[in-house]
Structure 1
Amino acid sequence: MEIERTGAGRYDVRNVRGGTIALGTGDDDRFTPVELLLAALGGCTGIDVDLVAGRRAEPTRFVVRVRGDKVRDEAGANRMENLEVEFDVEFAAGADGDRAREAVPRLIRQSHDRLCTVSRTVELGTPVSAFQRS
């Protein structure tokens, strides 16, 4: 992953496959780092749920909402609290839709408890090192 400055408070994030996301400070329509964190949380679990439930039936609605509160703690450091990933998923009536609907709560739990690398990493509090290469 590489992040390149393209202007004051403007950056392009590039993955090794050539994909690009516009990153910024929140002064324009570019995603902020916190928004990308929330997107990663919801996207990781969303993909887990969708890939398995979608084998049973194609969803008629599949929306994942992610929210959290940005707070400043007692030490004056910023962090996120109250992170929530909410699923709004619907399937058509019928046996296949019933099977998919019944699987969703279990799939959400499995993703949260063991499959989603993003939420597992956040919850475990994995250390991050930051340094300047000379």
Structure 2
Amino acid sequence: MKHKVEMSWLGNLAYETDMDGHKMITDAGTEVGGEDRGFRPKKLMLTALAGCTGIDMALILKKMRVDVKDIKVSVEGELTEEQPSYYKNMHIVFEFFGTDLPHKKIERAVKLSEEEYCGVSALYKQAIPVTSEIIYHEE
């Protein structure tokens, strides 16, 4: 299977794509000459990781019949100072909200996502360290 994304130039530094019926604009910030009309391409790498592992979490926990009130996934990436600037590491924080959360099952779900299911994580780990932590918010 192959995926293809096509970007159309909107002028200056902005581009637009239609991905599976959803429009998205990328642009640079005003500090570098962009017009701040859309997402920063590099930060979309963090979004891709959070989204990929987040989908895994929801699917795995559903199969395990684990009831959580909410899940938050945040990803922080540290950029190199030299050009081209790229992420030299990423750190994922999984936050689970609910009552009587089954920690062992949640930890298993995180491990399955990290080691078997999330293709974005698998690719990134070939190039940089990707770490994670779990935070529980129990009511």
State the TM-score, normalized to the length of structure 1.
0.76
d(CA) in 1 for partners of 2:49 and 2:37?
Answer: 20
Number of the residue aligned with 1:132: none
**Are the aligned partners of 1:57 and 1:91 in contact in 2 as well (CA < 8 Å)?**
no
Displacement of 1:29 in angstroms is 5.7
Residue 63 (structure 1) aligned with residue 72 (structure 2): yes
Structure 1 counterpart SS, 2:29 = coil
**Are the aligned partners of 1:13 and 1:21 in contact in 2 as well (CA < 8 Å)?**
yes
Displacement of 1:10 in angstroms is 1.3
State the TM-score, normalized to the length of structure 2.
0.73
Displacement of 1:79 in angstroms is 1.4
Displacement of 1:102 in angstroms is 2.8
Stretches of structure 1 lacking an aligned partner (at least 5 in a row): 126-134
Identity in percent: 26
Of 36, 40, 47 in structure 2, the residue corresponding to residue 32 of structure 1 is 40
Number of the residue aligned with 1:131: none
**Are the aligned partners of 2:14 and 2:37 in contact in 1 as well (CA < 8 Å)?**
no
- Name the CA shift for 1:91/1:14 in 2 (closer, same or farther; >3 Å): same
**Are the aligned partners of 1:60 and 1:90 in contact in 2 as well (CA < 8 Å)?**
yes
**Which structure features the higher share of helix residues?**
1
Letter in structure 2 aligned against 1:78: S
Structure 1 counterpart SS, 2:80 = strand
Stretches of structure 2 lacking an aligned partner (at least 5 in a row): 31-35, 128-139
The number of residues matched between the two structures is 117
d(CA) in 2 for partners of 1:59 and 1:5?
Answer: 42
Number of the residue aligned with 2:84: 77
Displacement of 1:112 in angstroms is 1.3
Residue 117 (structure 1) aligned with residue 124 (structure 2): no
Alpha carbon RMSD of aligned pairs, Å?
A: 1.9
